[in-house]
Every structure is written in structure tokens, then in C-alpha cells.
Amino acid sequence: MWTPKVCCSKLSGVILNLIQDLLMDRVNTSIQRQSNIEFPYMPRLKLISSDNKILREKNAGVAFPLSKEVRELIDQMFFAVRKFRGVGLAASQVGKNLRLAVIDLNTLEIPPFAIINPVIKSKSFRKASMEEGCLSIPGKYAEVKRPETIKLEFFTQGGKKVKLKAEGFLARVFQHEIDHLNGIIISDKWDVKTLRDIPPEGS
Ligand SMILES: [Zn+2]
């Protein structure tokens, strides 16, 4: 996901605990594979555009413990989402049909993290509309209506199951990425009347 305006969002205690868990999980994972670390990674991933059928194909569940290939893919995706100035990136967007995505909310001071095999368990009846963009549809933004609050479950890189209630902007980012894992992109649900072009920076 990509957004031209990141709204302010208060971080609840639950989210702060999640961040602690994610940080510990990443530290532990890094220690386990210290001998394999090659930094800095140069992103070798290319973005798939919205007309590519890979974005519509079924995404397979990810097995634990993570294979070397999947661990490397996640590391590459962390660099790619930052390089492309996104806030989220699903594996299908870089040509891998797997049920995983990375989220990078550095503007909210949340460290980047992966969501693996995520499932939305419930959605609020109340919906909200906000402008969204997608790295697979560069330069296009439109309002998308989504449930305001969701409950979801996902696995961290270390295989820890996280149960979370998310609201506001964070709930939106999770829903955008989980849509990708189900073959759905924002052009399926955006309000075309609100569509506008913002050329990508540097172009
Ligand atoms: Zn997207």
C-alpha cells in the first residue's frame, strides 16, 4: 500500500506490546541466522504491475520454520518497501504467490515487520473512507471504503502467532495487504469518482 498522506494515529498499549514482540522476534531470528547475514542487501525485486495475472493468482500458505528462500525474500521486501516509499508490500506484488506481506510504518515509528498467513477474524460494521494508493498502480489514488476496526491473526517471522485488534490507519494497511493475498487490488473497490493522479516523486 502507498499513501500520500499518513494520518496521525495514536498507538495503543496493544500495539506497543506488539512492537516489542516484533522487535524481539526479529532480534531472535537474526541471531539464529547470523552466519547467513549479508548486509547490505541490494533489492533485486521488481514490482509487478496491476495488469499482471500474478496479482490475481492463489497465494500459498507459508510453512514454518521459514526456509532460507522465504527469509531472504522477506529481507528483500523490507528493503523494497522502503525503496519504493510504500507502507506495505505483499509477496505477490514482487512475483511470489505466498501469503505474506511486509508493513513499514516508519512515519508512525513502528519498525518494519512481516505478517505471515494473516487471517481477518472479524470486521466492524462501521466503515470509513480514506484515500489509498498501491505500489502496483503507480501514481493513482482514490478513496476506498473499509471497515474501521478489524480483529486479525498472523504469524511473525519467528513463528509466533499474534492476535490483534487494529483500528484506523493501521487496520486499513492490514486490510489492503490481506486483500492482495486474496487476489484483490484497490481498483476493484475504489470510488472512481475520487480517482486522481499524483506523479511518483522524481518523475
Ligand atoms: Zn497494494
CATH code, 124: 3.90.45.10
Domain membership of residue 68 (yes or no) is yes
> What is the distance in A from the centroid of ligand 1 to the CA of 44?
19
User: d(Cα 69, Cα 78) in Å, to the nearest integer?
Assistant: 14
| This prediction's pTM | 0.83
Which residues are found with C-beta within 5 Å of the ion, ligand 1?
A: 1, 134
Give the pLDDT score at 14: 52
Is residue 177 part of the annotated active site? The answer reads yes
Residue 4 in any domain: the answer is no
CA of 94 to the centre of ligand 1 (A): 11
User: Domain total for the chain?
Assistant: 1
Q: What is the Cα–Cα distance from 54 to 45, expressed in whole angstroms?
A: 14
Cell of 62: 507459508
Task: Report pLDDT digits (tens) over 48-85.
Answer: 888 899 999 999 999 999 999 999 999 999 989 988 88
C-alpha 35 – ligand 1 centre gap (Å): 34
- Boundaries of domain holding 64: 13-31+45-197
**Cα(36) to centroid(ligand 1), Å:** 30
Separation between Cα atoms, residue 15 and residue 2, nearest integer Å? 21
pLDDT given at position 22 = 59
> In whole angstroms, what is the distance from residue 153 CA to residue 126 CA?
20
pLDDT in tens, 75-121: 999 989 988 889 999 999 999 999 999 999 887 778 899 999 999 99
